[in-house]
């Protein structure tokens, strides 16, 4: 795998190999130039390399005349909320999200706290490659400020949309796995404010990940056992920068990331009578959320994968709620960005209002089996692969907005080039696990054949 990825989605690389201080400083210069020497919020996750990366980025930003507000080690949604709160011109979050510990990354945000979109990302990359950066003299350089308690602002905002008294009355016991990431402090803070008794596992924010950070079934077996053994009512897991959430039932069953969004959407729909406002999800999100919305008489709009695509569409159509099936819940009352913390709050209130256990809520949802895989595929070849597979599609409904999505009445498959890795992602969903596996196997083989042509 190529260990440096520079794209419109940001920059990711392996520290000590491709992600060097020189590269990071140059990226800081590019973003500072793009920000026109404005005010920039900078936050990071707990990765050991975070301080080195931050200092290098600071150097580049300062050289262009930017003023910097350092919000410290915080969840990504906390940092993006502070961009709005402090009326900054943009922000940088230092986090490689679900990538392994040796990776780090820069994520770039605009003044509304939303990721740069494709056009904005290209403008930034043009500045980076051209190298025509703003250069400020010594007497025009600005200082670094340290922000007050950013987590307090985030927690207070989430609490403001919840029935805190109701949730507190239930005295939920919650198992929590934050993968030793940036979600530790704020998750504990929110859950304790909601009167929960918290059973933490992997909640030492030292950046030494106890398991692969992707919050999926394989990586969260510790949490599944822990939730059951501790008699918790629910288990929550976040990725290292806490913009995604996965759920484990009181029985220790992994419900996953997809149902996090479905349960959050179910709660929001149950609390509003306005069915004129749609729900927005991406092309790879489970039909469970779509079915929940349809049953409630609410329109569903799908976008290309990518938080910014969902967020911009949500704002455009005044959506009730939205997000991505990777556990990225977006509640516009808080912010147009994925937020594990708000996901926790909405799901706990759903349990409190219905009186149902986590497993009962899950069983009541439409039942599907979803499988995800990926196959090495150079980005340059991905378009040709998609064109080949499209020409072979017969009976399916075809959507080319983001790679290739093929829909049948009882199943679907989505193939797309990753924005963060040189791979082709293959996601399939069907009524049964064997049917979903058959789709994954079929299209994995088709991609291999197309690559070898």
Give the tens place of pLDDT for each residue, 292-341.
999 999 999 999 999 999 999 999 999 999 999 989 999 999 999 999 99
Domains of the chain are 4-148 (3.40.120.10), 153-364 (3.40.120.10), 369-451 (3.30.310.50)
How much is the pTM?
0.94
pLDDT above 50: residue 1: no
Q: With both helix axes pointing from N to C terminus, report the angle between 340-354 and 76-85 in degrees, rounded to the nearest 10.
A: 100
Q: What are phi and psi of 263, to 5 degrees?
A: -65, -40
Residue 220 CB partners (closer than 8 Å, separation 6+): 177, 211, 237, 246, 248, 254
pLDDT above 90: residue 4: no
In terms of Cβ atoms closer than 10 Å to its own Cβ (0-12, 13-18, 19+), residue 369 is middle
Provide mean pLDDT across the span 276-290.
95
Question: For this structure, is 18 an active site residue?
Answer: no
Residue 272: both structure tokens together: 């509003």
pLDDT above 70: residue 79: yes
Q: Which letter does DSSP use for residue 214 in this model? A: S
Q: What is the pLDDT of residues 152-210, one digit of tens each?
A: 999 999 999 999 999 999 999 999 999 999 999 999 999 999 999 999 999 999 999 99
Q: With contact defined as beta carbons under 8 Å apart, do 248 and 234 qualify? A: yes
pLDDT of residue 98: 87
Q: Is the dihedral of CA 443, 447, 448, 452 positive or negative?
A: positive
Q: What is the pLDDT of residues 372-416, one digit of tens each?
A: 899 998 877 888 888 888 887 777 899 989 999 999 999 999 999
Provide mean pLDDT across the span 257-273.
94
Provide mean pLDDT across the span 226-246.
97
Q: With contact defined as beta carbons under 8 Å apart, do 102 and 14 qualify? A: yes
Per the prediction, the chain carries an average pLDDT of 94
Select which of 63, 95, 97, 382 is catalytic.
Answer: 97
């Amino acid at each position: 795998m190529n260990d440096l990825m520079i794209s419109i989605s940001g920059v990711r690389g392996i520290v000590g190999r491709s992600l060097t201080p020189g590269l990071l400083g140059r990226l800081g210069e590019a973003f500072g130039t793009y920000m026109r020497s404005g005010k920039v919020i900078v936050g990071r996750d707990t990765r050991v390399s975070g301080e080195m990366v931050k200092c290098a980025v600071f150097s580049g930003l300062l050289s262009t005349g930017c003023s910097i507000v350092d919000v410290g080690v915080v969840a990504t949604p906390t940092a993006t909320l502070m961009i709005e709160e402090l009326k900054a011109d943009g922000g940088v979050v230092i986090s490689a999200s679900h990538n392994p510990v040796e990776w780090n990354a820069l994520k770039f945000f605009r003044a509304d706290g939303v990721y740069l979109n494709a056009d904005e990302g290209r403008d930034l990359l043009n500045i980076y490659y051209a190298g025509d950066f703003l250069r400020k003299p010594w007497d025009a350089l600005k200082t670094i400020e340290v922000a007050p308690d950013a987590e307090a602002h985030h927690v207070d905002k989430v609490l403001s949309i919840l029935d805190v008294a109701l949730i507190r009355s239930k005295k939920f016991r919650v198992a929590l796995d934050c993968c030793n990431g940036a979600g530790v402090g704020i998750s504990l803070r929110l859950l304790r404010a909601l009167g929960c008794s918290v059973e933490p596992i992997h909640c030492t924010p030292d950046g030494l990940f106890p398991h692969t950070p992707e919050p999926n079934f394989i990586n969260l077996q510790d949490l599944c056992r822990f939730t059951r053994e501790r008699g918790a009512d629910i288990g929550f897991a976040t990725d290292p920068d806490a913009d995604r959430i996965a759920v484990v039932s009181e029985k220790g069953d992994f419900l996953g990331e997809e149902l996090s969004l479905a349960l959050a959407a179910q709660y929001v729909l149950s609390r509003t009578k306005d069915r004129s406002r749609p729900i927005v999800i991406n092309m790879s999100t489970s039909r469970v959320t779509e079915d929940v919305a349809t049953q409630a008489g609410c329109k569903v709009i799908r976008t290309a994968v990518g938080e910014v695509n969902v967020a911009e569409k949500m704002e455009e159509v005044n959506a009730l709620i939205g997000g991505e099936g990777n556990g990225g819940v977006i509640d516009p009352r808080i912010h147009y960005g994925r937020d594990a913390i708000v996901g926790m709050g909405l799901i706990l209130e759903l349990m409190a209002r219905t009186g149902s256990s986590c497993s009962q809520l899950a069983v009541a949802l439409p039942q599907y089996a979803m499988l995800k895989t990926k196959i090495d595929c150079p980005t340059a070849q991905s378009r040709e692969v998609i064109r080949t597979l499209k020409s072979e599609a017969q009976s399916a409904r075809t959507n080319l907005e983001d790679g290739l999505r093929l829909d049948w009445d009882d199943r679907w498959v989505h193939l797309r080039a990753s924005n963060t890795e040189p791979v082709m992602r293959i996601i399939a969903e069907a009524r049964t696990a064997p049917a979903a596996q058959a789709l994954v196997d079929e299209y994995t083989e088709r991609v291999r054949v197309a690559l070898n042509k």
